[in-house]
């Protein structure tokens, strides 16, 4: 079956393309390369032996999206990653995030409803929970006012999909609310390669470790956590990619009585910023330069997943430890800087 992966040259998207191809799916990629590189295609091909079809396109161009689906009307499912994704940047550029993350979702949903098979997986986020009252966070936790425009686009995105599913029974959709992906493919052919200054913690750590950045800024050490730094659920990107495959397989089997479901995708445990730094120092066998700075607007204090639903319904579970994920991220960093 042919699956369209938007943002398929990005960090999570590229790893998901690999897992889809390894499971027999034919993959078509759309990416505007604003935060990725066409060279990622080479890495995907090296790993799988199959070069997926690629179209460079800005999904904000509604006419171009319509023309693409007209030419590829045999697509059996869509996994939608393409979006701006940095919490801090979204606070500074809210209109960019609302345009890029919501318009593109609407345009794609409009097109897939015209296909013979309307199967859709949405790249959502734990940011929809805001600062949750209880840990670990279950899918039934209240969706609170978002802490950032980025988080709000994920909340609104889920609402758009839910409302569309209510009036369109033939649309089968799943939102995967994932926590904090990190790491790289064990082959080191693909990994996280942000354009410019990294917005996520782990690539900033590895770039600092390799000497590309002078030091890491830790945003606050006075939070009500064991060591005062924010706590997140860090999941290996390969584990996360595999969750998308089993989610698509569930949709295709159509053995569920609901046409819209949500699942948390994480490890089920939290790690603080200082613990992540410690993991790096352990696997890289070198100290990391960092400094404590003021808190960053838009950050929640603690967020880690209850993954019981994904474990039981999808028969999926994260397998890699924090150190294993960090080691793969460091191996990738060393390779691309060599």
CA atoms within 13 A on the CB side of 36: 32
Within its chain, how far is the Cα of 46 from the centroid?
22
| CA angle at 323 for the pair 334 and 194, rounded to the nearest 5° | 45
Q: What is the DSSP string of 77-128?
A: EEEE--S---HHHHHH-HHHHHIIIIIHHHHHHHHHTTSSS-EEEEEEEGGG
Cα separation, 264 vs 336, whole angstroms? 31
Catalytic-labelled residue, pool 129, 150, 178, 234: 150
Torsion sign over Cα 195, 66, 242, 16: negative
Contacts of residue 37, Cβ cutoff 8 Å, sequence gap at least 6: 9, 193
What six digits make up the tokens of 25? Answer: 């799916």
- 150 classed as catalytic: yes
**Please, are residues 190 and 18 in contact by the beta-carbon 8 Å criterion?**
yes
Within its chain, how far is the Cα of 182 from the centroid?
10
- Other C-beta atoms closer than 10 Å to the C-beta of 73 total 11
Instruction: Tell me which long-range contacts 44-48 makes (C-beta under 8 A, separation of at least 24).
Output: 44/14, 44/17, 44/18, 44/189, 44/190, 46/187, 46/189, 47/18, 47/185, 47/187, 47/189, 47/190, 48/18, 48/21, 48/22
Cα separation, 53 vs 22, whole angstroms? 15
What six digits make up the tokens of 106? Answer: 């609407």
| CA angle at 60 for the pair 57 and 61, rounded to the nearest 5° | 70
Cα separation, 107 vs 113, whole angstroms? 10
The catalytic site residues sit at: 150
């Amino acid at each position: 079956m042919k699956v369209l992966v938007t943002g398929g040259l990005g960090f999570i998207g590229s790893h998901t393309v690999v897992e889809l191809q390894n499971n027999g799916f034919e993959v078509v990629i759309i990416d505007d390369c604003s935060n990725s590189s066409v060279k990622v295609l080479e890495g995907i091909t090296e790993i799988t032996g199959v070069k997926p079809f690629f179209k460079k396109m800005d999904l904000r161009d509604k006419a171009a999206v319509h023309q693409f689906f007209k030419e590829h009307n045999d697509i059996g499912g869509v996994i939608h990653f393409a979006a701006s994704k940095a919490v801090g940047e979204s606070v500074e550029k809210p209109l960019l995030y609302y345009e890029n993350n919501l318009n593109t979702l609407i345009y794609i949903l409009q097109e897939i409803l015209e296909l013979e098979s309307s199967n859709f997986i949405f790249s959502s986020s734990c940011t929809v929970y805001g600062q949750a009252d209880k840990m670990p966070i279950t899918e039934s936790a209240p969706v609170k006012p978002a802490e950032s425009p980025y988080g709000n686009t994920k909340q609104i995105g889920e609402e758009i999909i839910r409302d569309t599913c209510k009036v369109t029974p033939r649309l089968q959709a799943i939102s995967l609310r994932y926590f904090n992906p990190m790491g790289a493919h064990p082959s080191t052919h693909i990994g996280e390669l942000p354009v410019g200054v990294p917005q996520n913690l782990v690539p900033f750590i590895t770039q600092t470790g390799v000497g590309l950045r002078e030091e890491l800024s830790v945003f606050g050490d006075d939070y009500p956590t064991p060591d005062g730094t924010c706590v997140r659920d860090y999941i290996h990107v390969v584990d996360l990619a595999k969750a998308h495959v089993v989610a698509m397989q569930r949709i295709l089997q159509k053995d569920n009585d609901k046409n819209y479901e949500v699942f948390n995708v994480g490890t089920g445990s939290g790690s603080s910023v200082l613990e992540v730094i410690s993991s790096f120092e352990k696997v890289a066998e070198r100290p990391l330069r960092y400094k404590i700075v003021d808190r960053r607007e838009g950050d929640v204090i603690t967020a880690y997943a209850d993954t019981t639903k994904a474990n039981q319904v999808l028969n999926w579970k994260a397998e890699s430890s924090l150190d294993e994920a960090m080691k793969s991220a460091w191996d990738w960093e060393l390779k691309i800087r060599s």
